Amino acid sequence: MKRALLLATVAFAALAPFSVCAQDSNTQKDNAILIKNATILTITHGNIEHGSILIRDGKIAAVGTDLKVPDGATVIDANGQYVMPGIIDCHSHIAIDGGVNEGSVSVSSMANIADVLDPEDMSIYDDLAGGVTAANILHGSANAIGGQTVVIKLRWGKPASQLPFEGALPGIKFALGENPKRSNFSPPPGVEPRYPATRLGVEETIREALIEARQYKKEWDDYNQKKAAGNQNLIPPRRDEKLEPLVEVLEGKRYVHSHCYRADEILMLIRVANEFGFKIRTFQHVLEGYKIADEIAASGAGGSTFSDWWGYKMEAYDAIPYNAALMTDRGVIVSINSDDAEEARHLNQEAAKSMKYGGLSANDALKLVTLNPAIQLGIDNRVGSIDVGKDADLAIFNHDPLSVYAVVQKTLIDGRVYFDRQRDIDARPALEKEKQDLLAKEKKAAEEKKAEGKTEGKPEKKPVAKKKQPPTSPSNAGNVAGGGL
Amino acid sequence: MRNRFEFRHVLLILIVACIVSLINWTHSARAAGGAPRYFAITNARIVTGSGAPINNGTVVVAKGLIQAVGESVAIPPEAWVIDGKGLTVYPGLIDAGTDLGLPKEEPAESAPAGRGRRRAAPSGEIAKGPEDRPGTSPWRVAADEFKTDDKRIETWRNAGFTTALTMPDGGIFPGQASVVDLAGDRRGDYIVKAVATLPISFTPVGNFWAFPDSLMGSIAYIRQVFDDSNWYAQAEPIYEANETKFERLPYDRTEQVIGRELRDKEIVLLPANNSVQILRALRLADEWKINAVIYGGQHGYEVADAIAAKKVPVLVNLKWPERAKDADPEGEETLRELRFRDRAPSTPAALSKSGVKFAFYSGGLSGPKDIFKNARKAIAAGLAPDAALRAFTSDSAEILGVSGRMGSIAPGKIANLVVTDGEIFDEKTKVKHVFVDGRWFEIHEEPPAEKAGDHKTDEPPGAPAKDMVGGEGVGR
């Protein structure tokens, strides 16, 4: 049922960017908002029945049961409803313009998702309708070292420049296994298969790129040192867009999110990272993570997995739906992600599955899609729970979000309502009318053009010209002076 | 003695006479077969583009340039005089983005049957990274490949277009676009500015197996090329002064050409049609510190203020979006798409209001008839007609860096003129004369190319033809 509702939303909610903003005047940032009478799922300090949340300047200003309505505040009566922190999707490919993979090369770290954010991708709005407020937008997994990634807030209607999550560390996608070794692609005749073709080769590719990055950094350090020492006439090293993000990885200034399946390759990457002195921030998919949960926990990496999605290729056969719970039990920070624009619309339900498979508590299940991904992305000081001082990124459901009957009523980011189910439904007739009017206008114009075309059936008079020769008798010969003519 | 003297005298007279007659002969021969080089258009309304229109004035053209313009200017004795009574003289129109005179690229090899894109081998060399310089030939110059026998040159000229920016196609850095005038005896006569702008395309050239295969890959590639070119421009003089101290710099034509372009702040054309692309282009122009001009710009009505804030000019594609002819009649279209088709022609008015400098280009329209028709749509959507004229003349010249030489009717400017029998954007207006570099073309309408036997209507001969209803020039 929820799916049907959402599809209806997709079909009708053509709320174009740049026009939505105008409708939001009632929820401007500096206005106070009070959400009252709600069941508040704080994640960090239990649930509050009949509670209120006060929002000021886009931040959570107070949470409790006896908050007064400040003068001029907008009140959202959430009687019988549930408020949870906005859902954070740790693995998403929405809002990307012009291709998710730069798949032509084995190291594509020069490609940057931040360059191609598409704020008009309807998936942003659809995901908002599923309570998602932030997402880790990743490059695809075609390369051992993929492109640069970016964490965004789903600020539908804002330009691309306002999507990135302010202050979030940028990331980079690594990938292990079948995708980077191109197991499931064969090149056309005359094209050499891309290196690497084995898991060994994937390791070698990553190691070689990191060695290159280390040398690149040294080159620049040497140059800067010489220059600082007053050395003139130095030719600087070339900038290398491929290696610069890898230098940031080595310096701990950029998170590595690595696509992976099998236990052996996960252990391999932990060893490689140790060798080069950095940490893997998250293992993505990590379907065999339950086999080596202790090692992952010891490495400090997080695990971002699916609830129950596997078997779609050889390396995805050894998965179990207990993965998230088992890794959690061993101390790994675990999140459940979507990797898919549709799945992202019901991450609350995906989280709930870990209660059935593995027996997580309701609160721990919700953590899988809120506080834990926030920790994994290094944004837990800003989002992931309902605490005073955090961003007012909230999802309001009509039922307990862990119930299959739960449907999002409102989604707020920075204290601003970006999705409102009722507003969406109310706007549909006007939008539908506008659409029909535009279609009718176009149809009319096309008919007029056709009619015009009929009256124009005569052979067209073509303007012609020759380079003008001096006329034998100039039209105004009397005015023409000059000898010889 | 005396006789002899007289004989010598006569001989001298004869020789002088001969020379004089020879001179006369050559002069008249030139006049008969060549083109006059002095003209005066008198009694005409003159829209100079650099001040108030002159209601009854004269334009004097001398040897390719405008010599004088005004209400009462001296007409040189050698000038051909064209009575401009009832006519209006405008600066020659500029089409700021065409492929006039450039041969079409060979069509790419069709993909082998099967699973489409993924199975198709990329044509040409398979680039393994930025260092292979995929789709990159910035050293190509449109002017060098310009073909004067392109039939469209005459079509454009007869409609009043005296100048075009002609852009090479194919690849991410296809080559330099050139400003050309649309008449001449040989190629060299056409070229106004050979290296005028550097067009860039963001379209990946890779085809899955070759780099770059994505938009982000293309952008990363362009960024790396700019890095490399800036590096070369910096490194070259240091190397040349210290040849024994450094390994020699590897030869790379791309770095050399683009390094020079960036140093000289030449115009870089960035394609951007919808608002997402436009805002992205503005950001990249800032990041890359280039002298950018956007081309496309049709979603400008949404982001005109953002463009104005960056002071980036726009070449507006007059090929307004239309429903695809082969569109699925049952296909569901988004409201956003419908709005775009409806509002795109209001972009010029919005740009004008926000103070963005913009010019028009034909962008693949099939001919001048559609160019004018679509310019009229922009006027109908709120653009002032004089602003529309500027977008074809002075503003266009300014954006393309040739405003010192064209774009208005003023002494010293290239004699590019179009003479009409009415307001230039009026549907019924006809072009009467065109001057390109002072070359005179008189335009007249050819009678319908219709033979008696070809008459296919059922009308009896002599009956008024239905298709004449509505008069001449309907739907130009």
Q: Count Cα neighbours of A387 within 13 Å in the Cβ-side half-sphere.
A: 13
pLDDT in tens, A23-74: 444 444 457 999 999 999 999 999 999 999 999 999 999 999 989 999 999 9
Q: What is the CATH number of the domain that holds B253?
A: 3.20.20.140
- What is the token pair recorded at B391? 């977008």
Smallest Cβ–Cβ distance between A452 and the set B211, B279, B474 belongs to B474
pLDDT for B446: 65
d(CA B397, CA B391): 9
* Model confidence pLDDT, tens digit, residues B399-433: 999 999 999 999 999 999 999 999 999 999 999 99
Tell me the pLDDT band of A428, cut-offs 50, 70 and 90. Answer: very high
CB A134 within 8 A of CB A394: no
- Which residue of chain B comes nearest to A465, CA vs CA? B443
Nearest CA to B217 among A62, A457, A242, A403?
A242
Statement: residue B20 has pLDDT above 50? no
In angstroms, what separates the C-alpha of A250 from chain B's closest C-alpha?
Answer: 21
Helix, strand, coil percent content, chain A, rounded in steps of 5: 35, 20, 45
Whether the per-residue pLDDT at A134 is higher than 90: the answer is yes
Residue B222, both tokens: 């362009």
Contact A104 B206 (CB under 8 A): yes
In the predicted model, what is the mean pLDDT of chain B?
86
Does any domain span residue B147? yes
Cβ contact B335–A480 (<8 Å): no
Say yes or no for a CB contact (<8 Å) between B159 and A467: no
- Are B32 and A238 inside 8 Å of each other by CB? no
pLDDT (tens digit, 9 = 90+) per residue, B214-273? 999 999 999 999 999 999 999 999 999 999 999 999 999 999 999 999 999 999 999 999
Q: Can you list the domains of chain A with their CATH numbers?
A: 1-86+384-429 (2.30.40.10), 87-383 (3.20.20.140)
Q: Do A105 and B431 touch (CB under 8 A)?
A: no
Distance CA A96, CA B217 (A): 13
In a domain, B164, yes or no: yes
**pLDDT interval class at A455 (50, 70, 90):** low
Single-letter amino acid code for the residue at B412? G
Of B157, B215, B334, the CB nearest to A98: B215
In a domain, B101, yes or no: yes
User: Is B429 within a domain?
Assistant: no
- Out of A189, A469, A482, name the one closest to residue B77 (CB): A482
Query: Per the CB < 8 Å rule, is A238 touching B214?
Result: no
Q: What angle do CA A169, A173, A174 make, to 5 degrees?
A: 130
Tell me, what's the pLDDT at A125?
A: 98
Asked if B276's CB is within 8 angstroms of A119's CB, the reply is yes
Cβ neighbours of residue B266 closer than 8 Å, sequence gap 6 or more: B195, B197, B198, B291
Instruction: Determine the pLDDT at residue B104.
Output: 76
Q: Rounded CA gap, B73 and B70, in Å? A: 6
Shortest alpha-carbon distance between residue B103 and chain A (Å): 23
Rounded CA gap, A151 and A162, in Å? Answer: 11
Give chain B positions within 8 Å (CB) of A235. Answer: 234-235, 238-239, 246
For residue B228, the Cα-to-chain-centroid distance in whole angstroms is 31
Cβ-Cβ contacts under 8 Å, B206 against chain A = 104
B-chain CB neighbours of A463 within 8 Å are 158-159, 430-431, 443-446
Cα–chain center distance at B156: 10
Shortest CA gap B196–chain A (Å) = 27
| Nearest Cβ partner for B336 among A16, A105, A110 | A16
For residue A474, the model assigns a pLDDT of 34
pLDDT at B118: 42
| Mean pLDDT score of chain A | 90
Residue B445 CA to residue B158 CA, distance in Å, equals 10
User: Is any Cβ of chain A less than 8 angstroms from the Cβ of B421?
Assistant: no
Identify the three-state secondary structure at position B470. coil
Has residue A188 got a pLDDT over 90?
no
Residues of B in contact with A470 (CB under 8 A): 31-32, 35-36, 80
Are A115 and B442 an interchain contact pair (Cβ–Cβ within 8 Å)?
no
Nearest-by-CA chain A residue for B115: A188
The pLDDT, as a whole number, for residue B112 is: 42
Tell me if B210 is assigned to some domain. yes
CA atoms of A377 and B128, how far apart (whole Å): 32
- Is residue B348 one of the residues assigned to a domain? no
Q: What is the pLDDT of residue B34?
A: 60
Please state the φ and ψ torsions of residue B348, each to the nearest 5 degrees: -60, -40
Number of domains within chain B:
1
Contact B231 A485 (CB under 8 A): no
Pick from B43, B123, B214, B421 the residue to mutate for testing the A interface (most A CBs within 10 Å).
B214
**Are the beta carbons of B445 and A462 separated by less than 8 Å?**
yes
- Whether residue B360 is contained in a domain is answered as no
Q: Answer whether B35 sits within 8 Å of A431, measured CB to CB.
A: no
Residue B123's domain comprises 93-264
Measured between CA atoms, the residue of chain B closest to residue A19 is: B302
pLDDT for residue B9: 58
Pair A104, B212: CB distance under 8 Å: yes
Give dist(CA A134, CA A165) in Å, integer: 8
Give the model confidence (pLDDT) of A208-252 as tens digits.
Answer: 999 999 999 999 999 999 999 999 889 999 999 999 999 999 999
Residue type, B366: S
Structural domain includes residue B165:
yes
What is the least distance, in Å, from the CA of A117 to any CA of chain B?
Answer: 9
Question: A112 and A137 in contact (C-beta within 8 Å)?
Answer: no
pLDDT band at B12 (very low <50, low <70, confident <90, very high): low
- Give the pLDDT band (50/70/90) at residue B157: very high
| Residue numbers in B near A475 (CB within 8 A) | 83
Chain A, window 385-404: residues with a beta carbon less than 8 angstroms from a chain B beta carbon: none
